[in-house]
Amino acid sequence: MLKQVTKQLALQGVRTFSVGQQNNYKVTVCGAAGGIGQPLSLLLKQNPLVTDLALYDIVHTPGVAADLSHIDTKSKTAGFIGADQLGDSLKGSDVVVIPAGVPRKPGMTRDDLFNDISNSIAKNCPKALVAIITNPVNTCVPIAAEILKKAGVYDPKRLFGVSTLDVVRARAFIGHALGVDPQTVQIPVIGGHSGVTILPVLSQSQPLFKGNQDTIEKLTVRIQEAGTEVVKAKAGAGSATLSMAYAGARFAGSLLKGLNGEKNVIECSYVQSTVTEATFFSTPLVLGKNGVQENLGLPKLNDYEKKLLEAAIPELKKNIQKGIDFANA
Ligand code: NAD
Ligand code: LMR
């Protein structure tokens, strides 16, 4: 009987879930009403591993949640508005994604932007995997780390700066340049998430990006400056939102796959690191049930990429120190 009902539901396009799979994760989006937050929440609403989608912002979340709740996927969607409801939005969350903040305007650097909700995470979901999208990522992640440390709940395996958009862009640009499907391109993008700290390791791309040194340098700079390309094109209306939502949903999806026991889930992300002199650094990571399962370290670099790394490290160290000083001020 049960089998028949399940078959009937499947024919109607209704998904059912086998007993034994966990498939019941709570994800909180902080900044859910924003340019990134809304499309990110839409994409997360479609992730079958999510059963509870909590949307937190200081504005508009009741409307965003009501709208998303009419989508016929299994997750329950709830809106939380204002600081009084922050704790409830985070209570028991498995994954917290943070795109709360202010987008960059032309002429601003990412250092003008900052937002933090780490204290509430420490109280309400200290074991959650936390993915910070808010800029400046290079500085916000060390700030969050310091605050979580003070609250006695910091676990470096569970705190991530989202640099996935750099990988997504590199895949798009390489795929289009080579005339191959960008989804088939593999490329590590390491370092941090701003300007010279973004280090696309083109020598390791698969398929190989072939080109003379001039072409390679142009593509490297394009990937490093791709955020500025969007800021300029939007001409005062903000920075990347849709591509970031896509990248954020992919990264959160990978965190959930890792939590759910899937093997060989690999993403580049900005985490506490001993791979270089910079104490936070993005390299390819294997994701698992407790967040970072293994840091795969630096990919092989050619001489040009070694020079890029030399340029990135002092900038990253400065960004990191700024975060530590800010949090301890
Ligand atoms: P946005 O202004 O459209 O949205 C930000 C949202 O955050 C708004 O809805 C706002 O109400 C909310 N917010 C502000 N303060 C808050 C608080 N204290 N608590 C909860 N919510 C709060 O901005 P956006 O375009 O979505 O960008 C958000 C952030 O993401 C910016 O810092 C931007 O620079 C960054 N960003 C990062 C990447 C990346 O690759 N990591 C890419 C693009 C943008
Ligand atoms: C991006 O890379 O698009 C974001 O970090 C937004 C920005 O300000 O560049």
pLDDT in tens, 135-149: 999 999 999 999 999
In 3D, which of 27, 114, 113, 7 has the Cα closest to residue 75? 27
Q: What is the DSSP code string of 219-284?
A: HHHHHHTHHHHHHHHHTTS-S--HHHHHHHHHHHHHHHHHHTT-S-EEEEEEEE-SSSSSSEEEEE
**Residues forming a β-bridge with 26:** 52
**Nearest-CA residue for atom 5 of ligand 2:** 227
Same domain, 208 and 310: yes
Q: What mean pLDDT do residues 83-112 have?
A: 80
Q: What mean pLDDT do residues 98-105 have?
A: 78
* Ligand 2 geometric centre to CA of 238 (Å): 9
Which of the residues are catalytic? 193
Is 6 part of a structural domain of the chain?
no
ipTM score assigned to the predicted complex: 0.99
* Percent share of the chain, pLDDT over 70: 89
Task: For residue 109, name the pLDDT band (cuts at 50, 70, 90).
Answer: very low
Task: For residue 6, name the pLDDT band (cuts at 50, 70, 90).
Answer: very low
Domain with residue 75: its CATH number is 3.40.50.720
Overall domain count for the chain: 2
Q: What mean pLDDT do residues 50-76 have?
A: 97
Same domain, 317 and 169: yes
Is 306 part of a structural domain of the chain?
yes
Residue 22 has pLDDT above 80, yes or no: no
The pTM (predicted TM-score) of the whole model is 0.92
What 3-state DSSP class applies to 287? strand
| Ligand 1: nearest atom to the Cα of 240 | 43
Task: For residue 33, name the pLDDT band (cuts at 50, 70, 90).
Answer: very high
Task: For residue 110, name the pLDDT band (cuts at 50, 70, 90).
Answer: very low
Q: Which residues are annotated as a binding site for NAD(+)?
A: 31-37, 57, 133-135, 244
Same domain, 176 and 324: yes
Residue 2 has pLDDT above 50, yes or no: no
Boundary of a domain, candidates 100, 125, 150: 125
Boundary of a domain, candidates 125, 152, 171: 125
Is 118 part of a structural domain of the chain?
yes
Domain that holds residue 56: 25-125
Rounded Cα gap, residues 52 and 39, in angstroms: 17
